[in-house]
Amino acid sequence: MKFTTSIIIALLFCANSPAKILDQAIVIIENDVITQLEYQKKLNFITNQYKISGSPLPTDQSTFREQILESMINTRLQLNYAKSSGMNVQEWMIDKAMEDMAKKSGVSLTEFRDKIISQGVDYNLYRSLLREDLIIREVKRRIVSQKVKVTKKEIQEFIEHQDHVFKENSQYKISMILVSVSEEPSVEEKSLAKEKIKMIREKFLKGEKFTNLAKNYSDSGNALSGGNLGWRKISEVPNMFLNQLENMNVGKASNIIENNNGYYIFYLEDKKEIQNTEIEERKVRHILVKRNAIVSDRRANSILIELKKRIEGGESFADIARAYSEDTISASLGGDLEWAAPGTFVPEFEDMIDTLPLNKISDPFSTQFGWHILEVLGRRNQDNTKAVKMNLARRYIINSRAQEAVDAWMIELKEKNYIKYITETTPKNFRNIQKENNKIDGKSWDPFL
């Protein structure tokens, strides 16, 4: 395959101008093809990304181009698998993903779009690639969910022998004060600096606010923000603070710490430790109406508006959920879902739970699963330390095996699909090359079986 790919790549770039490239098939994948034009667009897009980031292009252009073509083949295989499995991404999901990216960049969606276009990126191609990325993420998530199994014994052993992971996920909210010294301080300068940091610490112990002391006395670059370092995992805390941090109580200041920069004290404002994790759980019930070829978004919304009116008119939520909800598991329970911690559901569902008062029925809203109405029945604080540890252990174990599972599935997927490298100018003996296992046998392969 490697030799065949190299020949195709060489033939693709023998023309002097991309405009001369004919839009002919270069790879056949079952009943699908990758064309030269598709390849050229992807190559241009990736090359432009290198330029935008300021990174140099790989020196080995032949290998670089081969990698792009192989990546396109892998992508097409996964997209075709998604299509055959009924997986799809709606336009609103792409919009939501772009809104999230815009928010992280600190700009509006319109500004984000304008920035993409101003950088010479084809906006429609950008959305198309984002759609592909979202679909492939879902494919991989499903494959990992199906292929990677974790037993209770494995989870328990992880908790017993990998306890450092739980410390790594504890978070600390810290502020600091620095009294600096010059690069080569004299004995007197160091003495004055040490007396100053002692004075600051004494003021804190007598009741002055750490933030005010940082603003007034600290030489650190974050002095104006009260010395705030924000929430940090243990791996993100400055090493010189670690020895004292683990045994400190919230609301306390450290002893004086000396290093080449001068003298520090830090303040532990708050901490979130897995050893003592209390969270607010929510009890919810809902009714789901799915989109399909007959039920449009508008129709689903109208159905739920009518169901909401009936419930508010006195009919039982549970009875209507049993009769109409397409979430078959919860429908049998009158729409009830288990007590759940924040982050259990998809973001749109979580947002509605967070904003809805108790015992009020929401307006219809959409998620990737369809349209919903929901009611929050209760909220409670729970010591969830054991559950958090178990979930974290499960996630670590799954993540450690996920890539291997996806890689193995991709190899199997390639073996089950007919793949042929071909161009009109490829020598006949190479046009007919295909992997020995790429024979159509009339059988479809489903990794969920």
Residue matched to tokens 């009518």: 306
Strand 257-259, strand 419-421: pairing: unpaired
With the C-alpha atoms ordered 405, 411, 416, 419, is the resulting torsion angle positive or negative?
positive
Contact 274, 268 (CB under 8 A): no
Average pLDDT, the chain: 82
The answer, yes or no, to whether residue 6 has pLDDT greater than 90, is: no
pLDDT of residue 276: 59
What does the alpha-carbon distance between residue 177 and residue 182 come to, in Å, rounded to a whole number?
A: 16
Kindly report which listed range (28-37, 319-328, 423-432) carries the lowest average pLDDT score. Answer: 423-432
The answer, yes or no, to whether residue 10 has pLDDT greater than 70, is: no
pLDDT of residue 362: 94
Contact 214, 227 (CB under 8 A): yes
The answer, yes or no, to whether residue 431 has pLDDT greater than 60, is: no
With a CB cutoff of 8 Å and minimum separation 6, the contacts of 231 are 171, 172, 173, 272
Query: Most confidently modeled of 144-158, 166-180, 306-320?
Result: 306-320
Contacts within 8 Å (CB) and 24+ apart, 56-62:
62/6, 62/9, 62/10
Rg of the Cα trace of the chain?
Answer: 29
3-state helix/strand/coil string of the chain:
CHHHHHHHHHHHCCCCCHHHCCCCEEEEECCEEEEHHHHHHHHHHHHHHHHHHCCCCCCCHHHHHHHHHHHHHHHHHHHHHHHHCCCCCCHHHHHHHHHHHHHHCCCCHHHHHHHHHHCCCCHHHHHHHHHHHHHHHHHHHHHHHHHCCCCHHHHHHHHHHCCHHHHHCCEEEEEEEEEECCCCCCHHHHHHHHHHHHHHHHHHHCCCCHHHHHHHHCCCCCHHHCCEEEEEEHHHCCHHHHHHHCCCCCCCECCCEEECCEEEEEEEEEEECHHHCEEEEEEEEEEEECCCCCCCHHHHHHHHHHHHHHHHCCCCHHHHHHHHCCCHHHHCCCCECCCECCCCCCHHHHHHHHHCCECCECCCEEECCEEEEEEEEEEEEEECHHHHHHHHHHHHHHHHHHHHHHHHHHHHHHHHCCEEECCCCCCHHHHCCECCCCCCCCCCCCCCC
pLDDT of residue 45: 85
The answer, yes or no, to whether residue 312 has pLDDT greater than 90, is: yes
Mean pLDDT of the 384-397 span: 77
pLDDT tens per residue, range 56-102: 888 888 888 888 888 899 999 999 998 888 887 878 888 888 888 88
Walk me through the domains of the chain, giving residue ranges and CATH numbers.
Answer: 2-147+418-431 (1.10.4030.10), 149-169+387-416 (no CATH), 171-272 (3.10.50.40), 278-383 (3.10.50.40)
Contact 371, 291 (CB under 8 A): yes
pLDDT tens per residue, range 178-205: 999 888 899 999 999 999 999 999 999 9
Amino acid at the residue 411: I
What does the alpha-carbon distance between residue 164 and residue 246 come to, in Å, rounded to a whole number?
A: 13
What does the alpha-carbon distance between residue 413 and residue 299 come to, in Å, rounded to a whole number?
A: 38
Residue with more model confidence, 228 or 272: 228
CB count, 10 Å around CB of 338? 10
pLDDT of residue 331: 93
pLDDT of residue 308: 96
CB count, 10 Å around CB of 421? 23
With a CB cutoff of 8 Å and minimum separation 6, the contacts of 349 are 286, 367, 372, 374
Per-residue pLDDT band for 398 (boundaries 50, 70, 90) equals confident
The answer, yes or no, to whether residue 428 has pLDDT greater than 60, is: no
The answer, yes or no, to whether residue 310 has pLDDT greater than 80, is: yes
Contact 178, 218 (CB under 8 A): yes
pLDDT of residue 448: 25
Residue with more model confidence, 92 or 117: 117
Amino acid at the residue 304: L
13: which 2 tokens?
A: 């770039």
Residue with more model confidence, 58 or 310: 310
What does the alpha-carbon distance between residue 110 and residue 98 come to, in Å, rounded to a whole number?
A: 10
Per-residue pLDDT band for 378 (boundaries 50, 70, 90) equals very high
Residue matched to tokens 């991989």: 140
Q: At what angle do helices 317-324 and 297-312 cross, to 10 degrees?
A: 150
CB count, 10 Å around CB of 119? 12
